[in-house]
Chain A
Amino acid sequence: MGISYNGVRSELFGLAFRTGLLTVVTLGIYRFWQKTRIRKYIWSSVNAGGDTFEYTGTGLEKLLGFLVAVVFLAVYLGIIQIALFYFGLNIMVDPEEASQAQIIGQVAAIYISFFAVLPFLLFAVYRARRYKMARTRFRGIRCGMEKGAWGYVLRALGYMALQVVTLGVLTPLQTFRLEKYQADRSFYGSQRMVQTGKWTDLYRYMKHIFIGLGLLVLAAVSAVMELYVLAGVAGAVGYVWVIVGAVHYGVQSFGYLMRHKTLGEVGFTAEPATGQVIKTYILGGLLLGVLASVIFGMVGAVVAAFAPMLVEGELPIAFFALLGVAYIVALVMIQALSLVLITQPILAHYISTIRVTNPQALNRIAQREAETGVDAEGFADALDIGGAI
């Protein structure tokens, strides 16, 4: 059973643009409804065997979840940040006598507050996925995910520490185990999902990262040997190779992990193409850049036209207010464009390469209980993670 993505560029753009303006007008409050409506559109665009997915979340529960998270995070963040700042002050050194290293150290101490938030960022990542699962339905049957956010936080922190110690050599282990932790807690109706496969299999997708790193090492070695042309070429090629290699790893490890998920007797195939994803990034990015410069160019042209009056101070405040509005409208437009030029096509590509094997087994899957999570994905909203959708 094939899966297709049928979202239309102009419709999604219209929805994102209109809800974006509403968000600005309501000073950000409408953003919960904005995200919900965009998700409803995207979910409903995914068609598997003639049935579309359904997103049942509501903006209201997202707002309430956000308010719950705010109460907690306001207290935690406020106190942690002021305490860390105080700690930072206590290792302050005199800039007239301090070495560069000491100054860097104290700046780092002040910005270390990021690490105080890190556990909550990870917590929010799991909760957001769980919320999205709980609000996804297919053929009237709910998806779902078991509780386990703190277990995820501990594991994610552990693998991060391991990554630092081993300089990233164990990336596949981290990718695989964290995905398995989440997938194994996921359900479609009564049927539990299982992540099979081996983490060492993911190494083959790191090939291009290693080639890129090899080129960078070559560049460093030739620089030491004063072969500057070779160093420059190897450095530039290696740099691009590493970036492309990282995208390749992301795309192909997704494909591998998808192919090795099972829902009882139901299986999946997935063949996402790295080239297609990179092409979308480049073409979409270029088009976005061109459109953005056109939009801002128009705003700029208006300013330039009125510039002589500006110098003479004849322009009323209303002009500046209008200019501010034009600027914000332009920003909202660019956000909506990036959604339809980059996010949606990449999503569409991933989804359309997935096939469901043995779909008849789905018919026997039964409903699961409704889940009324009180904080929805409030932590993710409060901490600003989760991206466009």
Chain B
Amino acid sequence: MQEAGAHFYDGLTAGRHEVRVALSGDRQALQITGETLPEPLRWPLQDLRALTDTSDSGRLTLTRLAETEDESPRDPARLVVLDPALIAWLRRTRPALFRTDLRKGTFRTVAKYAGGAVGAAALMLFVILPALANTMAAIIPVEREVAFGKTVTAQMERFLGGSRLGSLRCDNPAGEAALDAMLRRLTAGREMTYEVELQVFDHPMINAFAAPGGQVVIIRGLLDAAEGPDQVAGVLAHEIAHVESRDATRHALRAAGSAGILTMLIGDFTGAAAVAVMGEQVLSSAYSRKAEAAADVFALEMLAEARVSAEGFAAFFDHIDDLERVEIPEYLASHPVTAERAAAARDFAAGQEATRPVLNAAEWQALQRICD
């Protein structure tokens, strides 16, 4: 290589040193000489590093690999090369020029920090928040929960296209009487914490949900899809079970706590929203699988006490399974239909004796026409 001029900054003061750069006699180092330097400097070639991702291709800023207190193992001194021939020579002969050097133990540090962060987040999401949600759901006054539930139901009604409060509510008197008869049959003789307020919304979606404080909504599509009153009774018993175990309140409390954590973990890169939604789905399904199973057990007991056959509940699962899956994503999302759930209901039904339909034929017809 040819000798070339360069700017040198010694990393001690901001003053510029005009220097000459040449290859040392043993061809192992750069020799840096300048009038303002107290003595010539020797930078071994193997330690040479350059700044990366810089904008000016006619400039190469060199530094040295060195064990320092800095964020990277680099000497604070800088050698700014503007000579094209020298830049080309360095790029050609020094493959390690743009290398990132990691200190020893870096991977262990990253693993330790990542483990700590994941552990803390998991502890919050899976232990502390659910526990807090449980405690809070248990101490919240019932009338507040009822008010909250009504707000949730009202929001759901608006979401389904209701223009004002109560505009989707089906209120055919005979249908309402049948609905009431079904509810009384299921809850007769039971000690209930909440007074169940049951309504049907006029919308083709196949679904039913329990909001906090005893608000239970059946959506008309479910009545249309059901093949008999016992099937509806099974679903209703399941929703009542959610009401009694305060699942909706608990779920809302937990989601309020975990939403912030999830968005924070993921950040706002492109596509983050999709990942966040997926995360929340995974989280709530992991959390609610237990609640769903418990609600099933509770529902089967309720059906047994009311002397309603659980066969309807099982048949509803089968029937839902037969429908085109794409047609009913809503119900599947919140109530995963599994063969086990249907089988459990059927096994339970086999052990039941002396059951009678939850509604008579006339009542069932009235219920199906509740929205007319």
Task: Please give the residue numbers on chain A whose beta carbons come within 8 Å of chain B beta carbons, in ascending order.
Answer: 6-8, 11-12, 15, 20, 23-24, 27-28, 31, 37-38, 40-42, 44-45, 47, 50-52, 54, 56-58, 60-61, 63-64, 67-68, 70-71, 73-75, 77-79, 81-82, 84-86, 89-90, 92-96, 103, 106, 110, 113, 117, 135, 138-142, 188-189, 328, 331-332, 335, 362-367, 369-370, 372, 381-384
Contact = CB atoms under 8 A, between A and B. Distances in A.
A96 B165 contact: yes
B278 to A, nearest CB: 11
B136 A93 contact: no
Given A52-B54, A94-B150, A370 B269 contact: no
Contacts of B267: 28, 31, 381-382, 384
B365 interface: no
A75 B117 CA distance: 11
Contacts of A369: 69
A79 B125 CA distance: 11
Contacts of B261: 73-74, 77-78
Contact of B129 (A41, A78, A95, A139): A78
A4 B110 CA distance: 38
A57 B71 contact: yes
B71 A82 contact: no
B16 A372 contact: no
B235 to A, nearest CB: 25
B112 to A, nearest CB: 9
Interface stretch (B55-63, B184-192, B339-347): B55-63
Interface string B116-134: 1100110011001100110
A82 B136 contact: yes
Interface string B223-234: 000000000000
B15 A364 contact: yes
A110 B260 CA distance: 13
Contact of A82 (B13, B61, B256): B256
Interface centre among B11, B14, B77 (most CB of A within 10 A): B14
B72 interface: yes
A203 B231 CA distance: 73
Nearest to B113: A67
B20 interface: no
A60 B254 CA distance: 32
Contact of A23 (B110, B259, B270): B270
A381 B263 CA distance: 12
A77 B70 contact: no
A204 to B, nearest CB: 35
A89 B144 contact: yes
B270 A24 contact: yes
A56 B10 CA distance: 17
A11 B54 CA distance: 10
Interface centre among B11, B61, B260 (most CB of A within 10 A): B260
B71 A70 contact: no
Given A28-B272, A52-B54, A70-B265, A364 B117 contact: no
B109 interface: yes
B257 to A, nearest CB: 4
A68 B113 contact: yes
Contacts of A58: 71-72
Interface string B323-366: 00000000000000000000000000000000000000000000
B31 interface: no
Nearest to A362: B14
Contacts of B125: 78
Interface centre among A8, A67, A75, A365 (most CB of B within 10 A): A67
A140 B79 CA distance: 9
B259 A81 contact: yes
A254 B70 CA distance: 32
5 contacts: A37-B53, A82-B253, A85-B252, A188-B14, A363-B14
Interface in B125-174: 125, 128-129, 132-133, 136, 140-141, 144-148, 150-151, 154, 165
Contacts of A89: 140, 144-145, 148, 249, 253
A113 B264 CA distance: 14
A106 B268 CA distance: 28
B38 interface: no
B80 interface: yes
B151 A366 contact: no
A96 to B, nearest CB: 7
B65 to A, nearest CB: 14
Nearest to A37: B53
Given A41-B53, A64-B110, A74-B120, A95 B151 contact: yes
Contacts of A139: 9, 14-16, 78
B68 interface: yes
B7 interface: yes
B132 A8 contact: no
B59 A52 contact: yes
Interface in B232-282: 249, 252-254, 256-261, 263-272, 275
Given A67-B113, A71-B116, A94-B150, A86 B72 contact: no
Contacts of A95: 147, 150-151, 154, 165
Given A44-B54, A52-B59, A67-B116, A328 B270 contact: yes
Contacts of B140: 86, 89-90
A354 to B, nearest CB: 17
Nearest to B260: A77
Contacts of A332: 270
A78 B16 contact: no
Contacts of B132: 79, 82
B51 interface: yes
Contact of B260 (A81, A135, A140): A81
Contacts of B14: 138-141, 188-189, 362-366
B106 interface: yes
B53 A367 contact: no
B12 A366 contact: yes
Contacts of B256: 81-82, 84-85, 110
A20 B270 CA distance: 8
B247 to A, nearest CB: 15
Nearest to B151: A95
Contacts of A384: 263-264, 267-268
A177 B77 CA distance: 36
B114 interface: yes
B106 to A, nearest CB: 7
Nearest to B79: A140
A126 B272 CA distance: 26
A211 B146 CA distance: 51
B124 A74 contact: yes
Interface in B268-298: 268-272, 275
B144 A140 contact: no
A67 B109 CA distance: 11
